[in-house]
Amino acid sequence: MKIAIASTKGGVGKTLVAVNLFYAIKDIIEEACTLVDEHIQVPNIYHYIKELPQAEEVVVNVRIPEIDQNACTFCGRCVHYCAFDSILMIKDAGHIKVLDDYCTSCGACVYACNDNAISERTEALGKVSSYALDKDRFIEGRMYAIRPLASPIIQEVNEHIKDDAISIIDTPPGSSYPFAESVRDADFVVLLAEQGKAGKRNLEANIQLLLNMEKRFGVLINKSGLGDDGLFEYLQEENILVLADIPYNRKYADLHSCGEIIVQQDAHLKQLFVSVFDKIRAGVKEGQA
């Protein structure tokens, strides 16, 4: 069962929910549970796991083209073929270069060149680390440099967890591309939301995305109690499953900022996450029936 913790909006508390959901349930369920960090550009869950054991690592490689200026006839075909404007050619100066930062390793330039001037070198795009935590696991995807190519790493992470009994995935925020990529295989999506106008608009858009993808999902409202009840009314009207609302609590912010696992210190929140998990399970069962 893959559970994706998602929202295209950043800062709504995905990491907090993923980490605390994992720690709330891992010791009370029999199955092995995997916590997954897919924030490949800036993974941060590892800060919350005390005493990380030695990792098993898989390096994710990509091919980056290299142009031999001496062999190049400056015909410009590769520049024309590159859909990402990542080849810089200044013909008069006899200069041609691949701008690695923009390159997606698509190989179009290599195909384009008729003069054998382009070769490819292998470069590590990132890595996937896997840590054993007794019966459970923690998996982290990490990208070394910031490049416009996330999917090979996410795909490798997904490969790692495809047979796991239960996995809880902290998905990357922001662009809809990683959202789609990491939510695609999920059996259940925990959609995080906040109150307020922007929060509601964002939630509506995210719900639409999930409905289009025909995903099972439920909404978890974080930092509730500060705004009006418009969000709850909307969810009720639309008949959308509300998993829980986590009231705003300065203590939670403090603990989370200091790298603590809140459910280990707050029985109430732990109970809340356990009930969220039960609802997820029931939702997934319902889907299978």
Partner 1 sequence: MKQISIIAAKGGVGKTAISAAFASFAKDLILVDCDTESSDLRVLLNAKTKETTIAETMQRVRIEEDECIRCGLCKAMCHFDAIINPYGIYQIKEEHCQACNLCHKACPVSAIEYVQSEKNIWGLAESRYGDLFYAQLALGEDLNGSLITILRERARELAQDKKTDMILIDGPPAMGFAVASAIALSSLTVVVVEPVPSAIHDLHKSIQLAKRYDVPSVCLINKSDLNIEMTNQLKEYCIVNDITVIGEIPFDIQFMQAQLASKTMPDYAPDSKSTLLLKQSFNQICDLN
Binding residues (CB under 8 A) for partner 1: these are 8-13, 39, 41-42, 44, 47-48, 63, 81, 83-84, 101-102, 104-108, 111-112, 146-151, 172-181, 184, 195-199, 201-202, 205, 209, 212, 223, 226-228, 248, 250, 253-254, 256-259
Q: Which of 252, 231, 172 is nearest to 4 (CA)?
A: 172
Q: Are the CB atoms for 39 and 170 separated by under 8 Å? A: yes
Among partner 1, ligand SF4, none, residue 198 binds (CB under 5-8 Å by kind):
partner 1
Point out which span in 48-56, 103-111, 150-158, 170-178 binds ligand SF4 (CB under 6 A). Answer: 103-111
- Residue 15, classified by CB atoms within 10 Å of its CB into exposed (0-12), middle (13-18) or buried (19+), is buried
Q: Does 66 bind ligand SF4 (CB under 6 A)?
A: no
Compute the least distance from the CB of residue 59 to partner 1, in Å.
17
Compute the least distance from the CB of residue 248 to partner 1, in Å.
7
For ligand SF4, the closer CB: 47 or 80: 80
Among ligand SF4, partner 1, none, residue 115 binds (CB under 5-8 Å by kind):
ligand SF4
Q: Does 82 bind ligand SF4 (CB under 6 A)?
A: yes
Per DSSP, the residues of 2-43 read: EEEEE-SSTTSSHHHHHHHHHHHHTTT-SS-EEEEE--TTS-
Compute the least distance from the CB of residue 140 to ligand SF4, in Å.
26
**Residue whose entry in the numeric block shows the structure tokens 């994992």:** 22
Q: Does 126 bind ligand SF4 (CB under 6 A)?
A: no
Residues 6+ positions from 243 with CB-CB distance below 8 Å:
190, 218, 219, 220, 276, 279, 280
Q: Which of 273, 53, 37, 51 is nearest to 161 (CA)?
A: 37
CA distance 4 to 2: 6
Among partner 1, ligand SF4, none, residue 76 binds (CB under 5-8 Å by kind):
ligand SF4
CA distance 67 to 97: 6
CA 94 to chain centre: 42
Point out which span in 1-9, 44-52, 101-109, 265-273 binds ligand SF4 (CB under 6 A). Answer: 101-109
Indicate the SS3 state at residue 149. Answer: coil
Phi and psi torsions of 57, nearest 5°: -115, 140
CA distance 128 to 158: 10
Compute the least distance from the CB of residue 179 to ligand SF4, in Å.
19
Q: Does 86 bind ligand SF4 (CB under 6 A)?
A: yes
Q: What does the DSSP 8-state code read for residue 213?
A: T
For ligand SF4, the closer CB: 67 or 203: 67
Q: Which residues bind ligand SF4 (CB under 6 A)?
A: 65, 67, 72-78, 81-82, 84, 86-87, 96, 98, 103-109, 112-113, 115, 117-118
